[in-house]
Amino acid sequence: MKTIGLLGGMSWESTVTYYRAINEGVKQALGGLHSAKIAMYSVDFEPIEKLQHAGNWDAMANILSEAALGVQAAGADFLLICTNTMHKVAPQVEAAIDIPLLHIGDAIATTLLQQNIQTVGLLGTAFTMEQDFYSDRLRDNHGLNVLIPNHHDRKIVHQVIYQELCLGKIEAQSKADYLRIINELAKRGAEGIILGCTEIGLLIQQTDTEVKLFDSTVIHAAKAVEYALPQIAID
């Protein structure tokens, strides 16, 4: 079994989901009392959130690169950045370490293509939805057509993430807003929706809508299990 490196804390609520999902996946694959071998560095999200909204991505790249080196030094065989938005600095982090980076966008794209999804809606922070580091990777590397909500709805999605979900708050009105936005994307041709922020799965589940949902946290964690157990066929 390979040791999985997790760079978490962005936010810690979603990192908990990663930890649980990875361990459950290993237990399902191997049985008995097996659990995952994990090396994790959990950052303080408050200063990172301030740097995000100040647009200081170089400073964030330095913080995450140093943390990634710590994960590598702890014995990790490969690394996951447990957040979608911070994959904006994935190239800098990848350049700083000697172990592979399992990119969340590639994990999601593989799952979408396996299910013959070509046009997908994307929900996430404003950075993830509006900047090109995420959607361009899906388009250019995997041939996917990516739709995002309109400006007003992007503001709603972003605010709910930072003002509620990252603080562990689950609000009924926000859930209703997200479901409306999901339906609007489906009307525009989205065959499925990427929950492209690792906290969104705390608010919206597949049982809430008939539109196919692709939870980035669950998919990323499952790919980590596959990578850690290359000799095991994961269903």
User: Which residue's entry shows tokens 């008939």?
Assistant: 210
Q: Torsion-angle region of residue 175: left (phi > 0), alpha (psi -120 to 50) or beta? A: alpha
Q: Which of 15, 197, 198, 217 is catalytic?
A: 197
**Three-point CA angle 34, 234, 213, nearest 5°:** 110
Active site residue 82: no
Q: Which of 17, 83, 125, 217 is catalytic?
A: 83
User: Which residue's entry shows tokens 């995997």?
Assistant: 142
Active site residue 83: yes
Nearest to 38 by CA among 18, 61, 14, 63: 18
d(CA 92, CA 102): 14
**Three-point CA angle 129, 119, 107, nearest 5°:** 70
Residue 194's CB is within 10 A of a number of other CB atoms, namely 31
- Residues acting as catalytic residues: 83, 197
